Structure 1
Amino acid sequence: MFYLPISNLFLMKFKAIVADIDGTITCEKRELHLEAVKKIRTLKLPFVLATGNILCYARTASRLIGLEGAVIAENGGAVAVRFDLQGTYEESMEECEKAYSFLSQYFNLTKLDPHYRKTEIALRRDFDLEKARSLLKTLNLDVEMVDTKYAIHIKSKKVNKGVGLKKLANMMGLKARDFVAIGDSANDVEMFEVSGFGIAVGNGDEIIKEAADYVTEATYGDGAIEAIEFLEEKGWI
């Protein structure tokens, strides 16, 4: 499905692609989709990975695919532009910890990767999220809870993949609008909003499909391949 007005079709030439990892360039069981990896390796423009996972995970995936190490991690809270440079982190953990301590009075919460996360808290998806969100509204904290289908994240409302993309694009000498964004989940919406063009893979959440300019018929890594081939056919990359 393609939603962009015809009047804009001849105005685009993008300089980079940013893509979510899990559910977007993976198989259904979360392994890297090898055909998608092969397709990504044929590209002549920068390909950035954006994930809710930790920075070292994003950098490892970037290395395995054969990319240059430009990544957005922790839902925009951590970014790195190359393998040989340190990542940068948002200062947003204090309020997340307050929210976690409060919610721990009501739920048996399990943190994921607590020794590696620097800007947010990720939790196992084994508690009532809507009840937790309602309880959190009673506090005066600038945080939110986001379900990425792999974990529930307590994160600052000021931090998201769109913020991370703007920051990383500037580090790369680009603008966020120079990027095509590919994703599958609610935490990709802000990335779509700031990018020049957003593509949702077929297995994506309804919210990301609504935010997309194009939705692939194929799912998971096959959808990412379809997305790239669509861009190539249009001459936009």
Structure 2
Amino acid sequence: MATMTPPLAVDIDGTLTDGEGAVDPRVMTPLREWPEPVVVATGKALPYPVALCSFVGIPTRVVAENGGAAYLVDDDQLTFVGDREAAQRVVTRYREQGYEPGWGEVDLTNRWRETELAVSLDQPLEPLKELAAAEGMHVFDTGYAYHVTSRGVDKGAGLEAVCRRLDRSVDEFAMVGDSENDAAAFELVGDAYAVANADETAKLAADHTTEASYADGFLEALDAIRSA
């Protein structure tokens, strides 16, 4: 008997991309042809997943900023959760200690962030974590940036909120991702896949780890999800 294809949640960086950080064009058609809702869940600021949905040609259903921002075309509601001012205080004090966010004069990484701030991986992590803890904040190391975000705000909580708005249960979803910021959602969804390049936190939280890395791993996961 044929099984139903589940709704899908998917990360961007390290999951839909190649090893150089570019979105692999081979992911476009499978995403567009997925028969159930697709939610793009990312640490990137809101414009990035919104643009991705537009270029792929799928309805705009996104969780951005590690759960801090969410938009669904279904109800045309944009929501924000998190303390951007506290994140700014952390980064300000980080600068006062002689460090920088590391993105240059024109900081496009943080230009459109509403609920958190990101610091480059080439900057020291430990002082950032100490300052974040003093503000009651948390730091995610996504493998692409350090994200200073509010405690309790993560992709799991963001996806759960989106599911309520879609009138779907989060455990109906399959998810594919690669980083510790995916782990909270991995623990909630019905079927979680970490691609082979994922960090250990993601792999431990996932139900499966693919043999292939990056977009190849994503495509491998889709084949497994379809045949489950």
The gaps in structure 2 that reach 5 residues or longer are none
Q: TM-score, normalised by structure 1?
A: 0.87
State the distance in 2 between where 1:20 and 1:49 align.
Answer: 6
State the distance in 1 between where 2:98 and 2:41 align.
Answer: 29
Which residue number in structure 1 is paired with residue 123 of structure 2? Answer: 127
2:9 aligned to which of 3, 15, 18: 18
Contact kept, 8 Å, 1:54 with 1:117, in 2: the verdict is yes
State the distance in 2 between where 1:70 and 1:104 align.
Answer: 35
Q: TM-score, normalised by structure 2?
A: 0.90
Contact kept, 8 Å, 2:119 with 2:147, in 1: the verdict is yes
Figure out how many residues of one structure are paired with residues of the other and give that number. Answer: 222
1:167 aligned to which of 136, 161, 164: 161
Moved more, 119-128 or 73-82: 119-128
The gaps in structure 1 that reach 5 residues or longer are 1-9
Which residue number in structure 2 is paired with residue 150 of structure 1? Answer: 144
Which residue number in structure 2 is paired with residue 206 of structure 1? Answer: 200
| Alignment of structure 1 residues 67-216 onto 2, 5 Å | 67-82=58-73, 85-110=76-101, 112=107, 113-137=109-133, 139=134, 141-216=135-210
Contact kept, 8 Å, 2:82 with 2:153, in 1: the verdict is no
Which 4+ stretches in 1 moved above 3 angstroms? 12-15, 111-115, 134-137
Contact kept, 8 Å, 1:16 with 1:179, in 2: the verdict is yes
Percent pairwise identity: 32
1:166-204: per-residue Cα shift (whole Å, max 9, x none)? 111111111211111110011100010111111001111
State the distance in 1 between where 2:48 and 2:139 align.
Answer: 21
Deviation at 1:86, TM superposition (A): 4.5
Contact kept, 8 Å, 2:90 with 2:128, in 1: the verdict is no
Question: Is 1:63 aligned to 2:54, yes or no?
Answer: yes
